[in-house]
């Protein structure tokens, strides 16, 4: 059976950090809507330029554009076995569209993992976040530093800080999360697929809890 897993949580909750272990455990690809938008932006595509206008000010990219992009991604051959969705869905309309896309593939969201982290912790996490523009791996200057400051452990690329991780934009993103994305927790609870994980623990402890909650689906 295909494993479609949704990772929910506010910006900075640790979704990207936890993605690799989940994908390795279930042998599924990592689909991050934010990473796909940033890839488009670095290639200066029309979609990338459109998305950037919203990303810069901490707003969501419109549903129709985002749903089409993820729909195309899910049609690729590597998703036959499932996928880990990180940052999508972010609205009820996106969640309903995902259900419909998966229904056509004879699949459904099997588990939605909600990483719970209070807002006060998020600003500190995001202001210390450094990411690899090449492989997408994320670090934190205090909590998860690279072996050599400013350099990715995996591929030696120079790490960057995301422009939308500035404190003012982060506050806007958290508000958008609370208004538009938090209702998805109830959406998936009602479907009986929600698992809540305490995201304030160490990276290793969070990973342990997530993998334990997925033990039944493996
Ligand atoms: P998201 O993908 O949910 O926006 P990230 O995975 O990029 O979040 O994590 C945000 C920042 O917090 C990164 O700098 C990451 O290294 C750090 N981080 C992630 N999980 C933890 C944790 N459990 N404890 C402390 N810092 C963490
Ligand atoms: P992320 O990398 O998940 O933090 O996303 C960065 C930014 O990309 C968000 O603040 C949004 O502007 C945009 N974005 C990512 N995923 C979505 C989505 N599912 N719907 C709308 N906008 C999104």
The pLDDT value given to residue 55: 97
Among 3.40.50.2300, 2.170.130.10, 3.40.50.300, 3.90.1170.50, name the CATH number for the domain at 3-118+181-217: 3.40.50.300
Q: What is the DSSP letter of 132?
A: -
pLDDT in tens, the chain (218 residues): 789 999 999 999 999 999 999 999 999 999 999 999 999 999 999 999 999 999 999 999 999 999 999 999 999 999 999 999 999 999 999 999 999 999 999 999 999 999 999 999 999 999 999 999 888 899 999 999 999 999 999 999 999 999 999 988 999 999 999 999 999 999 999 999 999 999 999 999 999 999 999 987 75
Say how far apart CA 78 and CA 92 lie, in whole Å: 26
Annotated catalytic residue 15: yes
> Which position among 15, 38, 125, 137 bears the catalytic label?
15
> Which position among 38, 125, 137, 173 bears the catalytic label?
173
Annotated catalytic residue 108: no
Q: How far, in Å, from the CA of 36 to the mean position of ligand 2?
A: 9
DSSP string, 137-158: -EEETTTB--SSTTB-TTT-PB
The pLDDT value given to residue 209: 97
CB 79 within 8 A of CB 159: no
Q: Please give the model's pTM, rounded to 2 decimal places.
A: 0.96
The pLDDT value given to residue 1: 75
Q: How far, in Å, from the CA of 1 to the mean position of ligand 1?
A: 30
The pLDDT value given to residue 2: 86
Our CA dihedral for 82, 88, 90, 95, rounded to 10 degrees, sits at -30
Annotated catalytic residue 218: no
What ligand has the least distance to the C-alpha of 142? 1
Ligand 2 atom with the shortest distance to the CA of 176? 10
Annotated catalytic residue 90: yes
């Amino acid at each position: 059976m295909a494993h479609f897993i949704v990772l929910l949580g506010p910006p900075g909750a640790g979704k990207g950090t936890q993605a690799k272990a989940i994908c390795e455990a279930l042998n599924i690809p990592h689909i991050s809507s934010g990473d796909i938008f940033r890839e488009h932006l670095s290639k200066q595509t029309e979609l990338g330029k459109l998305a950037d206008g919203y990303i810069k000010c901490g707003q969501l990219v419109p549903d129709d554009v985002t749903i089409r992009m993820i729909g195309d991604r899910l049609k690729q051959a590597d998703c036959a076995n499932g996928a880990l969705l990180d940052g999508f869905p972010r609205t009820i309309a996106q969640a309903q569209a995902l259900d419909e896309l998966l229904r056509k593939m004879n699949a459904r969201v099997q588990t939605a993992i909600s990483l719970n982290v209070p807002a006060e912790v998020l600003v500190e996490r995001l202001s210390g976040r450094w990411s690899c523009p090449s492989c997408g791996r994320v670090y934190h200057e205090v909590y998860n530093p690279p072996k050599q400051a400013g350099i990715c452990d995996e591929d030696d690329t120079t790490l960057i800080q995301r422009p939308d991780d500035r404190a003012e934009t982060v506050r806007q993103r958290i508000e958008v999360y609370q208004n538009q994305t938090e209702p998805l927790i109830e959406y998936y609870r009602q479907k009986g697929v929600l698992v809540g994980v305490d995201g304030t623990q160490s990276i290793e402890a969070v990973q342990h809890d997530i993998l334990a909650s997925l033990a039944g689906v493996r």
